[in-house]
Amino acid sequence: MWTLCIGALVIISITHWIYRWRNPRCNGKLPPGSMGLPLLGESIQFFTPNTSSEIPPFVKKRMKRYGPIFRTNLVGRPVVISTDSDLNYYIFQQEGRLFKSWYPDTFTEIFGQQNVGSLHGFIYKYLKNMVLNLFGPESLKKMLPEVEQVACRKLQGWSSQSTIELKDASASMVFDLTAKKLISYDQENSLENLRESFVAFIQGLISFPLNLPGTAYHKCLQGRKKAMKMLKSMLQERRANLRKNQSDFFDYVLEELRKEGTILTEAIALDLMFVLLFASYETTSLALTFAIKILSDNPQALKQLTEEHEAILKNRENIGSGLTWKEYKSMTYTFQFINETVRLANIVPGIFRKALKDIQYQGYTIPAGWAIMVCPPAVHLNPAKYEDPLAFNPSRWKGMETNGASKNFMAFGGGMRFCVGTEFTKVQMAVFLHCLVTKYRWQAVKGGNIVRTPGLQFPNGFHIKITRKNDEN
CA–CA distance, 247 with 136 (Å, rounded to integer): 16
Confidence (pLDDT) at 17: 47
Domains and CATH numbers, the chain: 27-113+351-380 (3.30.43.20)
pTM tops 0.75, yes or no:
yes
CA–CA distance, 108 with 169 (Å, rounded to integer): 29
CA–CA distance, 155 with 10 (Å, rounded to integer): 67
Predicted confidence pLDDT, tens digits, the chain (473 residues)? 666 666 655 565 555 445 555 667 778 899 999 888 887 889 889 988 899 889 999 999 999 999 999 999 987 889 999 999 999 999 999 988 899 888 766 666 666 555 545 545 555 565 677 777 777 888 889 999 999 999 999 999 999 999 999 999 998 898 888 888 877 777 665 546 677 666 666 655 555 666 667 677 777 777 778 878 888 888 888 777 776 666 777 888 888 888 887 877 888 888 878 777 777 778 899 999 999 999 999 999 999 999 999 999 999 877 778 899 999 999 999 999 999 999 999 988 888 899 999 999 999 999 999 999 999 999 999 999 999 999 999 999 998 766 666 889 988 887 776 677 788 899 999 999 999 999 999 999 999 999 998 888 898 999 999 999 876 54
For 130, which DSSP code?
Answer: H
Phi then psi for residue 463, to 5 deg, are -95, 125
- Residue 26 marked in a binding site: no
- Residue count of the chain, please give it: 473
Confidence (pLDDT) at 16: 45
